[in-house]
Amino acid sequence: MIQLIEYALNGALLGLLYALIAMGFVVIYRASKVFNFAQGELVVVGAFLVWFFTLDLGLPLYVGFALALIGAAIFGLIIEPLLFRRLVGQSTFSMVMVTIGLLILLRGLVLVIFGPSVRPFPDLISTAPITFGDITLNRGLAYGGIFTILLAIGVSLYFSRTRPGLRMTVVAEDHQIAQSMGISVRRSIAYAWGMGMVLSTLGAVFYLNGKSVTFLVAEIGFAALPVALLAGLESVGGLIPAGIIVGVAQGLAAGYIDPVVGGSFSAVFPYLVMVIILFLRPSGLFGWRIVERV
């Protein structure tokens, strides 16, 4: 019984981490209607920025971390003038394809600038595990989980209650209409990528606490996709239940199915859950059901 709870709790925490990574993805979609295939690479860039400002430059931990967040925001903001400015008004298809180009480009740039070697990652949070009786939890993931829930509520309120958030929502619905209402699509895309980059960096901090960083960390971007799809691409608040569902399912699969099947079934399981749920509810659990017209 204790074991079951431990598997489920650790799974839930991992799911909340996926939710945080997926939040970067959803925020970009939610404010620009661009499906970001390069999400994993954004996490890697964020992780290397944190590494660069803290361990490489030797700045105090929290100063370096703050600088890394500022650097991440700037990095996100310059993606718009570089890649998307000329594409506003064209089909979303080309914008999405550009993110595939960005994925390949960032992988190359990270390798050239930071190299393929494994780097240590600074511990912003103590690595000692949290123990309740017989249950042990990863401290970084636990704090990350709480942070993710609070952040999701905040971001969700930002998009539905504040003026700038609503402006971005309009852009996600339709670029042309937004443009004709006097809302700058370009600015919305730029802010979206800035926010997405900051969220990805935060995700990297909680994920890599006590671990090390290489360019292979990017795989978490695709691992977090089922959470984003399950929530529905437009829903920030929905990420929390979706993350917990996926995480608990994965945690239990790792605990009980993996030993039987004898492989990493738990790595595939979220995708199966995702495909099944998409069959039942094609726009995810909380996504917008858009009426399509010709």
Partner 1 sequence: MSMQPAGVFAQSYVRDMAIFRTWKQGAALGFFVLALLLVPTILGPRYVAIANIMLITSVVVLGLQITTGLAGQVNLGQAAFMGMGAYTAAALSSGQQWPFLVTVPLAGLVAALFGAIFGLAAVRIRGFYLALTTIAAQFIFVFAILNLPASWTGAAQGLRVETASVFGFVFNTDNRMYFLILAITAIMTVGAYGIARSRHGRAFVAVRDDDLAAGFTGVNVVRAKATAFFVGAFYAGVGGALWAYYIRFVAVDQFSLFNSVYYMGMVIVGGLGSMAGAFVGVFLIRAAQEILTSVGPSVADIFPALGSSVVFASVNIILGAAIALMLILEPRGVMHRFNILKRAFRLWPYPH
| Alpha carbon distance 99, 107 (integer Å) | 12
- Shorter beta-carbon distance to partner 1: residue 151 or 171: 171
What's the per-residue H, E or C state across the chain?
CHHHHHHHHHHHHHHHHHHHHHHHHHHHHHHHCCCCCCHHHHHHHHHHHHHHHHHHCCCCHHHHHHHHHHHHHHHHHHHHHHHHHHHCCCCHHHHHHHHHHHHHHHHHHHHHHHCCCCEECCCCCCCCCEEECCEEECHHHHHHHHHHHHHHHHHHHHHHHCHHHHHHHHHHHCHHHHHHCCCCHHHHHHHHHHHHHHHHHHHHHHHHCCCEECHHHHHHHHHCHHHHHHHCCCCCCCHHHHHHHHHHHHHHHHHHHHHHHCCCHHHHHHHHHHHHHHHHCCCCCCCCCCCCCC
| Alpha carbon distance 229, 275 (integer Å) | 9
Subset of 145-204 contacting partner 1 (CB under 8 A): none
| Alpha carbon distance 279, 276 (integer Å) | 5
Q: Which stretch binds partner 1 (CB under 8 A): 11-19, 137-145, 240-248, 258-266?
A: 258-266
Q: Is 96 in the site for partner 1 (CB under 8 A)?
A: yes
- Shorter beta-carbon distance to partner 1: residue 78 or 135: 78
Candidates 105, 125, 137, 285; binder of partner 1 (CB under 8 A) is 105
State the binding string over 27-46 for partner 1 (x if CB under 8 A, else -).
Answer: --------x-x---------
Q: Is 222 in the site for partner 1 (CB under 8 A)?
A: yes
Instruction: State the minimum distance, in angstroms, from the CB of residue 276 to partner 1.
Output: 11
Candidates 88, 97, 125, 252; binder of partner 1 (CB under 8 A) is 97
Instruction: State the minimum distance, in angstroms, from the CB of residue 144 to partner 1.
Output: 24
Instruction: State the minimum distance, in angstroms, from the CB of residue 70 to partner 1.
Output: 25
- Shorter beta-carbon distance to partner 1: residue 39 or 148: 39
Subset of 264-293 contacting partner 1 (CB under 8 A): 264-265, 267-268, 271-272, 274-275, 278-279, 282-283, 292-293
Binding residue count for partner 1, defined by CB under 8 A:
48
Instruction: State the minimum distance, in angstroms, from the CB of residue 161 to partner 1.
Output: 27
Instruction: State the minimum distance, in angstroms, from the CB of residue 140 to partner 1.
Output: 25
* β-bridge partners, 113: none
- Shorter beta-carbon distance to partner 1: residue 63 or 82: 82
Contacts with partner 1 by CB under 8 A lie at 35, 37, 82-83, 86-87, 90, 93-94, 96-98, 100-109, 111-112, 115-116, 222, 225, 229, 233, 261-265, 267-268, 271-272, 274-275, 278-279, 282-283, 292-294
